[in-house]
A and B are shown apart, each in its own frame.
Chain A
Amino acid sequence: MKARVIRAYIAKELIELVRSRFILMVYLLPTMIMLLFGYGIRMEVTDARALIIDNDRSFLSNRLISKFEHSRYFDVSLDTSDEADALRSIKQARTDVIIIIPESFEKRLLHGQSTQIGIYVDAAFPSRGSTIENYAKGVILDAAASLAPARSAHLITINQRSLFNQAMRDEDAIVPGLIGLVLLVAPAILSALLIVKEKERGTIFNFYASPLSKGEFLIAKLIPAFLLHSLNIFILFLWAVYVFDVPFRGSFLLYWGVSEIYLLISIAIGMLISVVTRTQIVAVVLTVIITIIPGFLYSGIIMPISSMSGISQVEAHIFPVMYYNHILYDAFLIGEGLQSGKTLSYLLILIVYAVILLGLGRLLLKKELG
């Protein structure tokens, strides 16, 4: 190893990063994604705009309406107009759900006849639509149960215990996953530009003509990105724990260690892109496209991997995000650490990833004109 050469490259990269102000990106981007998404993504739907058409105007229908009014999930407006108008208002996206209480709702209910309440949900945003639908059903069934107390003999209550996230806070569920996303995207963008930039400008000749080996060149190029982003591991931790109040139950050492390995992987992904592309613009777009989407989809933020089917399940196992996020959620919310065999095996898988990707970069890098 030529320590001095590597040092020289590191110093050069740092000067360039600072003077080109790219350094701002290194620290601004992760924090920005974290804050925007951490505050921004809400799985829970509150204040859904419900339009209730009450065709009965009875005591019971009023009780039902007041159940909706008291729910924090709904923001109710009453409408006596006809259904066509209501439909139009949903088409104009001014209403999320229409609930129609039929005529003689009270009468039929008291006579034990069946009656039907209509729910029309705007499912243009499907997950939101389903959630609202479930809430509305819940409110109605709950109301029905309490409206007819005599009949509810066989009542089952649910003792629900949420593991790891008692308060069911969105933050706890999302923020650790965001760390996995951020540490995939930001370092990859940085390292994707490092080599292709030299190819585009011609300074790569300095490497071609120098006694530096390919491995040394890669090490020299990647160390600055690695060191700069290592700091982000701590910064993101602080955001998670102190701004979003996510509990941290595991070992910090494990968190740190596995994050550094993960960092190596994302930097190696960027480097691979940098090695195969010819222009910076291609490198940037490619990196953003192939990191953000899988980073988000397979992070477990939106959906647990166990619920994925077929190809998605396979894809999730190909992208390293899943393994890292498993350990991450464990470190924050569960705290089992290496005692769990799964954590240990995932850690090993991550190490194998890092080794393979770095090796691949070394293999594909050319030290002569193409």
Chain B
Amino acid sequence: MNRIFWTIVAKELLAFIRSWQLVLVVLYSFTVNVYISGSGIEIKPRNVAVGYVDYTGGGISQKILSKLHAPEFLPPRRFVSQEALSRAIYDKEIIVGIVFGPDFEKNWRRGEKSSLNVLLDATAASQAYTTLSYLQNIVLELSRSGMSVDIASHKLFNPNADNHTFMALTELLSVTTMLCVILTAVVFVREKEQGTWDIMLLMPVDPKLIILAKSFSQVLIILSGVVISLGFIVLGVFSTPLNGSFWAFALLTFFYIWASAGIGLFIAAIARDVMQVAQLSILVMMPLIFLSGAWTPIYAMHPALQALSLFSPLRYYIEGTESIFYRGTEWIDLWPYFLGVILVGGLMYWIGFRKIGRLF
């Protein structure tokens, strides 16, 4: 019993290692790919290109501009006319254009209401949003020079709001899902394609054992991928804070991978060839990832989608991972994530298991 289980696991691992292209692609997905997604992007405004036209003598205008400093803003570029500024915005060289009208300084000195014209390239809506609130804060602070409300703002868990670590981590979770579903499905479908399925059926082994062993082999592969990615990229290159317990994350990942493998089994039961596996897994994974809250917070979703998201094991996994890594949540407070992953994931694995079991 045990020996057969390990034999099957060993066979699948061997088959995986023999396919060097696949090994490379999996390694790439877990390392370079995670690195690219982490290094490539910064969601908070950074290096925002600001251009301005100053029709005043400069003074208060320069004071305002001096507050637009790195790393959020590139040094503001001066334009001679509003037309030149507009052209630069049209060409996407400038995202925020500020126009200081001739009366701006005069009015301000007199203590009258003065107004500032701001042109925003709103095709970059998120940048536009945040830049605008930056500007507003700068201007407000300037206006209330005598006022004395200080704001002591603390970003908990990730003080620099470092997006690299977050994006890298999110990508790691998505890659884990995708590879686990596809690899598990392919382990079975390849047997169908190559005609070894019949041979497998004729082995005097309990089909349950075959299914378990085959999925376990892929769980092992993905788990090693996660460890490599975590060690070299997430914790290595990006030095992501790990405020919680590593073992909590490992355990949660382990349960979650089984859930993904269950989806893989389900797909394997339906698909006849690798092409169909590709098709089905992408169709299944897109909503799954979407409903996980990775892209948009769950409480901001349509109520129907919120209800649906309860069935995405990825939801619990991502929330749990965020909590473990950043919030440093204690074991005891992690129970909702574990419960979610185990319940929903267990259900998924059971369904996939039953579905493919019927083919034996």
Residues of B within 8 A of A37 (CB): 290, 295
- Among the stretches B118-126, B247-255, B257-265, the one at the interface with A is B118-126
Q: Of the candidates A21, A155, A284, A293, which one forms a contact with B36 in the assembled complex, judged by CB atoms under 8 Å apart? A: A293
The proximity string for A residues 146-178 relative to B, scoring 1 for CB distances below 8 Å and 0 otherwise, is 001001111111111111111011101110100
Number of cross-chain contacts by CB at 8 Å:
375
* Cα–Cα, bound, A159→B143 (Å): 16
Q: Of the candidates A115, A159, A312, which one forms a contact with B117 in the assembled complex, judged by CB atoms under 8 Å apart? A: A159
- Whether B149 pairs with A117 at a CB distance below 8 angstroms is yes
Residue on B nearest A176 in the bound complex, by CB: B123
B interface, how many residues as a size bin? 35 or more
Residue on A nearest B146 in the bound complex, by CB: A151
- Whether B132 pairs with A172 at a CB distance below 8 angstroms is no
Q: Of the candidates B121, B130, B150, which one forms a contact with A163 in the assembled complex, judged by CB atoms under 8 Å apart? A: B121
Residue on B nearest A307 in the bound complex, by CB: B47
* Cα–Cα, bound, A329→B46 (Å): 21
- Whether A303 pairs with B142 at a CB distance below 8 angstroms is no
Q: Report if A227 contacts B (CB, 8 A).
A: no
- Whether B48 pairs with A123 at a CB distance below 8 angstroms is no
The proximity string for B residues 8-42 relative to A, scoring 1 for CB distances below 8 Å and 0 otherwise, is 00000000000101100110110001001101111
- Whether A193 pairs with B133 at a CB distance below 8 angstroms is no
Residue on B nearest A96 in the bound complex, by CB: B297
Residue on B nearest A315 in the bound complex, by CB: B40
- Whether B282 pairs with A130 at a CB distance below 8 angstroms is no
Residues of B within 8 A of A133 (CB): 153, 155, 161
Which residues in window 68-98 of A have CB below 8 A to B? 88, 90-93
- Whether B116 pairs with A156 at a CB distance below 8 angstroms is yes
CB distance from A301 to the nearest CB of B (A): 9
- Whether A141 pairs with B327 at a CB distance below 8 angstroms is no
- Whether B144 pairs with A151 at a CB distance below 8 angstroms is yes
Q: Report if A212 contacts B (CB, 8 A).
A: no
A121 in contact with B155 given A160-B120, A289-B28, A307-B48 (CB within 8 Å): yes
Residue on A nearest B21 in the bound complex, by CB: A282
Q: Report if A47 contacts B (CB, 8 A).
A: yes
- Whether A93 pairs with B42 at a CB distance below 8 angstroms is no
Which residues in window 97-111 of A have CB below 8 A to B? 108-109
- Whether A302 pairs with B276 at a CB distance below 8 angstroms is no
Number of interface residues of A (CB under 8 A): 122
* Cα–Cα, bound, A303→B93 (Å): 13
Task: List the 8 closest pairs (A to B, CB-CB), nearest first.
Answer: A165-B122, A127-B43, A173-B125, A124-B326, A43-B126, A162-B122, A123-B155, A114-B148
Instruction: Enumerate chain A interface residues (CB-CB to B < 8 A).
Output: 20-22, 24-25, 28-29, 32-33, 36-37, 39-47, 49, 88, 90-93, 108-109, 112-131, 133-138, 140-142, 144-145, 148, 151-166, 168-170, 172-174, 176, 189, 193, 197, 200, 277-282, 284-286, 288-290, 293-294, 297-298, 300, 302-309, 311-312, 315, 326, 329, 333-334, 336, 340, 342
5 A-B residue pairs with CB within 8 Å: A129-B155, A138-B140, A200-B274, A281-B274, A311-B39
Instruction: Enumerate chain B interface residues (CB-CB to A < 8 A).
Output: 19, 21-22, 25-26, 28-29, 33, 36-37, 39-49, 86, 89-95, 108, 111, 113-130, 132-137, 139-159, 161-163, 166, 171, 175, 178-179, 182-183, 186, 190, 272-279, 282-283, 286-287, 290, 295-297, 299-302, 305, 319, 322-323, 325-330, 333
